[in-house]
């Protein structure tokens, strides 16, 4: 018995694992370019959020058609890949359909279910390709989707289609060989979906069938390993990051903006309000707000790497709808691209964060962040609880507090807030004069 196939398999598997581990280390370092923050409170709520939003796809079903199609792909990805366990063991041990003799009819039922999911995934991917390239759904044609983002979406769909076809081809040729009594091939009593394409291969000789079956097997297993690596470079990284991303979701009410603790403590001291550590001097603030990725929190950068680029946030954004340059999806893509650029520079021994560039200015413009209405529509729309608004507000804080670069109308409002405690320039004592007029009208 030749051990060459097993040796080749182990080499390929080991190489893929090494590349994947290296990439995961790179991503982890990039995510932690952001500042530290703690979100391990409300454990029960976080588990519930992760199970409903990431695992249960709860927010996807706000748009029923893509939700059902995505559900097929999602379930197919999880369940069909259970079969990969058998592939891996067959590759290591040199066996063929290792579990079939032990599971009998259960194995046949499972294979038929896997094939049903393979067909569902295949059809769903075809429909997604049509939506992207023929129907041209508007959220897939925004400026930030030109070039690689569009190609990435199409490429991953094509890869999934080819992988599903490989499964069906492998099963079809496998069963023909079993029916002919070729050694090592087991008759499973009929597989419903791959059985439909068996006539395509009936005219092949045994040797040709073995070549096609083995080629499909190798293509599928190598394709799965390649897919796992490719995903870490793709928007489809959300397949894995959706779970930690939803766990670390912001559980506070969406209208609540997060203050800077250092500023809050200083204001409290000025007003005579007790602080946590009154005897300690105020902490030195390195920077107000965020100019680059290292000024954001690591959760913000995790959000960026979890972005699916589905565009639901942008399609719901009132600023974008009215023609403004702001696109919440672009904000997340820009944060991820900047983190990638810095990470690659650091690995190459370059300047990293000191390369003369910054997230604000070189990637995201003031015009974009100033267009935001802070309505939280993007946060509500995101199927994996990404928070673009948090990043926008931190960058606006930098522009206002570090550069004094906010629009003139905003500066007037800020001054009125500071002196009159309202956006309008009148005395706080006159604030309820309107109520007196209403009372007078009621008396009349």
In a domain, residue 94? The reply is yes
Task: Give phi and psi for 99, each to the nearest 5.
Answer: -85, -15
- The burial class, CB within 10 Å (0-12 / 13-18 / 19+), for 143 is exposed
Cβ partners under 8 Å of residue 109, min gap 6: none
Of 74, 157, 76, the residue nearest 119 (C-alpha): 76
What distance in Å separates the CA atoms of residue 101 and residue 97, rounded to the nearest whole number?
A: 8
Answer with the one of 247, 271, 304 that is the final residue of a domain: 247
Answer with the one of 247, 275, 305 that is the final residue of a domain: 247
Residue 208 and residue 82 share a domain: yes
Residue 122 and residue 167 share a domain: yes
Q: Are 225 and 12 in contact (CB under 8 A)?
A: yes
Q: Residue 297, SS3?
A: strand
What distance in Å separates the CA atoms of residue 393 and residue 335, rounded to the nearest whole number?
A: 14
Residue 12 and residue 81 share a domain: yes
Which residue matches tokens 């946060």?
Answer: 379
Residue 419 and residue 311 share a domain: yes
How many residues are recorded in the chain?
444
Answer with the one of 247, 263, 295 that is the final residue of a domain: 247
Cβ partners under 8 Å of residue 205, min gap 6: none
In a domain, residue 440? The reply is no
In a domain, residue 106? The reply is yes
Q: Are 395 and 381 in contact (CB under 8 A)?
A: no
Cβ partners under 8 Å of residue 231, min gap 6: 237, 239, 240
Which helix (H) or strand (E) element contains residue 416?
Answer: helix 408-420
pLDDT tens per residue across span 104-128: 788 888 888 988 999 999 999 999 9
Range of the domain at 307: 284-429
In a domain, residue 92? The reply is yes
Q: Residue 300, SS3?
A: helix
In a domain, residue 325? The reply is yes
Residue 185 and residue 96 share a domain: yes
Helices (H), ranges, 142-284: 148-179, 206-231, 238-247, 261-270
Residue 303 and residue 204 share a domain: no
What distance in Å separates the CA atoms of residue 185 and residue 188, rounded to the nearest whole number?
A: 9
Report CA Rg, the chain: 28
Cβ partners under 8 Å of residue 164, min gap 6: 76, 118, 119, 121, 122, 125
Q: Are 230 and 20 in contact (CB under 8 A)?
A: no
| pTM attached to this predicted model | 0.86
Residue 170 and residue 22 share a domain: yes
Cβ partners under 8 Å of residue 76, min gap 6: 117, 118, 120, 121, 164
Residue 346 and residue 230 share a domain: no
Q: Are 235 and 152 in contact (CB under 8 A)?
A: yes
Residue 173 and residue 309 share a domain: no
Tens place of pLDDT for every residue, the chain, 444 residues? 467 778 888 898 899 999 999 999 999 999 999 998 888 889 999 999 999 999 988 998 888 888 898 888 888 878 877 777 888 888 888 888 888 888 878 888 888 898 899 999 999 999 999 999 999 999 999 999 999 999 999 999 999 999 899 989 998 998 899 888 888 888 887 788 888 999 999 989 999 999 999 999 888 888 888 888 999 999 889 989 999 999 999 998 888 888 877 777 777 777 777 766 666 655 566 788 899 999 999 999 999 999 999 999 999 999 999 999 999 999 999 999 999 999 999 999 999 899 999 999 999 999 999 999 999 999 999 999 999 999 999 999 999 888 888 888 888 888 888 787 778 777 777 777 777 777 777 776
Residue 288 and residue 243 share a domain: no
In a domain, residue 152? The reply is yes
Q: How many domains does the chain have?
A: 2
CA 75, chain centre distance (Å) = 17
In a domain, residue 442? The reply is no
In a domain, residue 68? The reply is yes
- The CATH number of the domain holding residue 337 is 1.10.1060
Of 2, 51, 15, 429, the residue nearest 222 (C-alpha): 15
pLDDT tens per residue across span 295-335: 999 999 999 999 999 999 999 999 999 999 999 999 999 99
Residue 174 and residue 220 share a domain: yes
Residue 125 and residue 68 share a domain: yes
């Amino acid at each position: 018995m030749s051990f060459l196939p097993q040796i080749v398999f182990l080499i390929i598997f080991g190489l893929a694992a090494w590349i994947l581990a290296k990439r995961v280390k790179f991503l982890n370092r990039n995510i932690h370019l952001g500042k530290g923050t703690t979100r391990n409170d409300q454990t029960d709520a976080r588990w519930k959020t992760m199970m409903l939003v990431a695992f249960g796809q709860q927010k996807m079903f706000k748009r029923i058609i893509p939700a059902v199609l995505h559900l097929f792909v999602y379930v197919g990805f999880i369940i069909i890949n259970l079969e990969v366990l058998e592939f891996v063991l067959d590759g290591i041990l040199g066996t063929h359909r290792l579990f079939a003799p032990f599971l009998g009819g259960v194995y046949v039922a499972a294979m038929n279910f896997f094939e049903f999911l393979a067909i569902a995934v295949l059809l769903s991917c075809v429909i997604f390709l049509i939506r992207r390239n023929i129907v041209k759904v508007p959220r897939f044609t925004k400026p930030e989707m030109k070039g690689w983002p569009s190609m990435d979406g199409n490429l991953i769909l094509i890869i999934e289609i080819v992988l599903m076809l490989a499964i069906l081809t492998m099963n079809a040729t496998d069963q023909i060989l079993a029916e002919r009594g070729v050694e090592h091939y087991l008759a499973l009593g009929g597989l419903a979906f791959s059985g439909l394409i068996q006539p395509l291969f009936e005219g092949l000789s045994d040797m040709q069938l073995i070549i096609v079956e083995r080629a499909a097997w190798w293509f599928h297993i190598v394709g799965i390993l390649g897919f796992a690596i490719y995903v870490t470079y793709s928007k489809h990284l959300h397949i894995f990051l959706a779970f930690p991303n939803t766990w670390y979701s912001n559980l506070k009410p969406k209208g609540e903006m997060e203050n800077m603790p250092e500023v809050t403590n200083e204001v409290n001291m000025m007003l005579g309000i007790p602080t946590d550590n009154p005897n300690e001097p105020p902490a030195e603030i390195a920077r107000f707000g965020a100019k680059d990725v290292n000024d954001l929190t690591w959760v913000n950068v995790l959000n960026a790497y979890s972005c699916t680029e589905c565009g639901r946030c942008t399609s719901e954004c009132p600023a974008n709808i009215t023609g403004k340059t702001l696109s919440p999806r672009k904000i997340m893509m820009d944060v991820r691209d900047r983190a990638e650029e810095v990470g690659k520079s650091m690995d190459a021994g370059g300047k990293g964060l000191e390369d003369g560039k910054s997230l604000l200015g070189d990637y995201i413009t003031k015009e974009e962040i100033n267009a935001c209405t802070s309505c939280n529509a993007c946060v509500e729309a995101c199927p994996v609880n990404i928070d673009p608004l948090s990043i926008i507000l931190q960058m606006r804080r930098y522009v206002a507090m570090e550069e004094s670069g906010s629009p003139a109308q905003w500066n007037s409002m800020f001054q009125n807030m500071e002196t009159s405690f309202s956006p309008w320039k009148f005395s706080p004592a006159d604030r309820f004069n309107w109520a007196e007029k209403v009372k007078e009208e009621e008396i009349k």
